[in-house]
Structure 1
Amino acid sequence: MKQDQEPLSNPTINDIARVAEVSLATVDRVLNARPGVRETTVKKVNSAIAQLGYVRDSAAANLARGRVYHFTFILPSNDNEFISLLETQITQLAQSLRHERTKLSFVRVAAFDPIELAEAIGAIDPQKVDGVAVFGPETPSVRDAIAHLKAHDVSVVSLVADIPSSERDNYVGVDNVAAGRTAAQLLGRFLSRAPGKVLVLTGSMLARDHLERRLGFDEVMARDFPHLAVLASLEGRDDPDLIQRLLPGAFEDNPDIVGIYSSAAGNDGLLRYFAQHPMPNRPVVVAHELTPLSRDALAKGVFDCVISQDAGHLVRSAVRIMRANSDRLPINLAQERIRIDIYLKENMPP
């Protein structure tokens, strides 16, 4: 290959083949990371690409091949308003992406059930699906199922709850440890300096996002608010009925509860308990995810603060990342960072 090749204003794959002294078919295999090309040849082609300043137009290439992207979201199946928001966002985005040759779909699996989740991941056909967004627990069976998809060149992102020990490409969601720290700082500042107890409602301590929130919460409470005793987590499995059944015993055993951190779903059970058990001094409540239910609780002063992440941003970010991974293009990490939003009664969006 000539080393003194001048950069072209608009290089093509024909130019790459000429400079690298290989066939067009070889260039195509290298660009699409297909097997069957010797490492020395791959280096020659990549060197020619860099030398010519070639930038691939993935959209044009996909259009020429008639390619249609198919991305699937695997979501937990339970009575959860936040999951419903994600489904709505997936459905709406799917309609707007039709003209961009992109199909979106979602499937539901039992919440906190790693076996069913692994089976759902394993049922994905790598020949028909380009990317999968997984919202579920981190277990060996789930990691193995993700590894199988990655071995077949399917992009995988973890959604809301990270699975960092797996071969997933990226995580899309808030920093859950930071979210827990934020909840503790808010709850501690809302409460007086008088001693009292804080109840933590969670879904499952086997769920990484719930565990990370609890870790961050405990860190700040112990450091900045040692006069408040944080009780063991009450695991409600994101089930409002179960939470409603568990709360009477918790308050009977701890009548001095002054604050509640609802770190997961199932807030309807907490609200039902409050409605059935009026209190002269209702505990301060910090909850997660701005849904119609939590929005109403904020407006009525039953919840004091809601920590949230934008469901639309989560879905759009997951799709952009899976598409970039499929096309082997760089990701704009600043654009894909999911913010921790803090809502009070006064600043709820319309």
Structure 2
Amino acid sequence: MKPTVHDIAKIAGVSLATVDRVLNGRPGVRSVTRGKVEDAITSLGYVRDLAAANLAKSRTYSFVFILPANDNSFMIGLHEEVRGAVVRSSAERTVIRIIDVPPFDPGALVAVLETLLAERPAGVAFVAIDAPEVRAVARRLTEAGIPIVTLVSDLPDSSRDHYAGIDNIAAGRTAGSLMGRFLSGRESTVAVLAGSMLVRDHRERLEGFSTAIAQAYPNVHILPVLEGRDDPGLSETMVAEALRRNADIAGIYSLGAGNRGLIRALQKAHGPRRPLVIAHELTASTRAALSDGVIDAVLNQDAGHEVRSAIRVLKAKADGLPVLAAQERIRIDIFLKDNLP
């Protein structure tokens, strides 16, 4: 049974009128009270359903999702979540279109965004590349009245309306703390596998990881980043070469995708001991590697929640309604072999 506004009011200890003010962003609510209501929303998992109101208004929303077309399991899963939203679109009064672009290609992303300036959809969601030309076209979309949500990788200090994704600095710090604890703080060398430093989520994860290691585990030394472009084949080659050149690698942090290649390289490696491995995203391949002991921990984000959040935010922006921060917060899950769902 879905939670209701009555449940929120009961848990927060406030009136229905107060809940309504918070949900609709109206003034007259103290910050402490507003916090109680938002905490109740989070604990209940309440999701405001705008579908009924929009049905009454006979409004249909035209949304575009721009996604990188690369061969990594997380992005494949993100595509599947958006396709699921396409299937549900008639019931939710949305028309959703997916446009694929090459990964880590600012020019290709800008070209698609520029075409949308003429089409004027009700909202656009895309995996951001933190480049000046992307910021510039995002500003033009905003000036044209088109709401923007960035997915997975953010474009902060830009005109975008919302970011649907995890706190990547916090994710990197978490990975750094786990790595330091797993290595017991002993003198160690750690390799880092990224997709590309062009995307902000990878840079922020590296920043958080490096900071956590430097602050608490100064005996752990981080090698220069390997950029595998989230390509399993390239990632396998780069990891295999790093292991060959640095026989003392005690840990590997895979902060992007390309994990299938990483796993293959580890399975083929011959050495006195297997490196400790922390990766991102619970997919079929990382799940199997956790079970087999090839990977030690996985930090996961819920792609489905991100897609649903993006749609809710774009609807709210199109209707001039406030965004409920508590409802849209994307959490970081940590999986070990022992707590796999």
* TM-score by shorter chain over 0.5: yes
What runs of 5+ residues in structure 1 fail to find an aligned partner? 1-56
Pair 70,220 (structure 1): closer, same or farther in 2 beyond 3 Å: same
> Once the 2 structures are TM-superposed, how far is the Cα of residue 276 of structure 1 from its aligned partner?
1.9
TM-score by structure 1 length? 0.80
Aligned to 1:258: 250
Aligned to 1:129: 121
Aligned to 1:29: none
The separation in 1 between residues aligned to 2:186 and 2:144, in whole angstroms, is 58
Superposition CA RMSD, Å: 1.9
Structure of higher RCO (CA pairs closer than 8 Å, 6+ residues apart): 2
| 1:107 maps to 2:110 | no
Q: Deviations over 1:135-191 (max 9, x none)?
A: 031112111221221122111011111101321001110010000000000111111
What runs of 5+ residues in structure 2 fail to find an aligned partner? 1-48
Number of positions where the alignment pairs a residue of Structure 1 with one of Structure 2: 294
Secondary structure in structure 1 of the residue aligned to 2:186: coil
1:188 to 157, 163, 180: 180
Contact 1:126 1:154 in 2 (8 A): no
Aligned to 1:314: 306
Secondary structure in structure 1 of the residue aligned to 2:67: strand
Q: Deviations over 1:267-297 (max 9, x none)?
A: 1111111222233410000000111111111
The separation in 2 between residues aligned to 1:268 and 1:63, in whole angstroms, is 44
Contact 1:126 1:149 in 2 (8 A): no
1:82 to 74, 77, 90: 74
The separation in 2 between residues aligned to 1:261 and 1:65, in whole angstroms, is 50
Pair 60,264 (structure 1): closer, same or farther in 2 beyond 3 Å: closer
| 1:210 maps to 2:234 | no
The separation in 1 between residues aligned to 2:281 and 2:236, in whole angstroms, is 19
Q: Deviations over 1:95-120 (max 9, x none)?
A: 22312211222111111110000001
Pair 329,249 (structure 1): closer, same or farther in 2 beyond 3 Å: same
Contact 2:73 2:283 in 1 (8 A): yes
The separation in 1 between residues aligned to 2:310 and 2:51, in whole angstroms, is 18
TM-score by structure 2 length? 0.82
1:140 to 132, 142, 155: 132
The separation in 1 between residues aligned to 2:125 and 2:50, in whole angstroms, is 22
The separation in 2 between residues aligned to 1:172 and 1:58, in whole angstroms, is 19
Mapping 1:215-294, distance limit 5 Å: 215-294=207-286
Q: Deviations over 1:10-41 (max 9, x none)?
A: xxxxxxxxxxxxxxxxxxxxxxxxxxxxxxxx
Larger radius of gyration: 1
> Once the 2 structures are TM-superposed, how far is the Cα of residue 193 of structure 1 from its aligned partner?
3.5
Secondary structure in structure 2 of the residue aligned to 1:171: strand
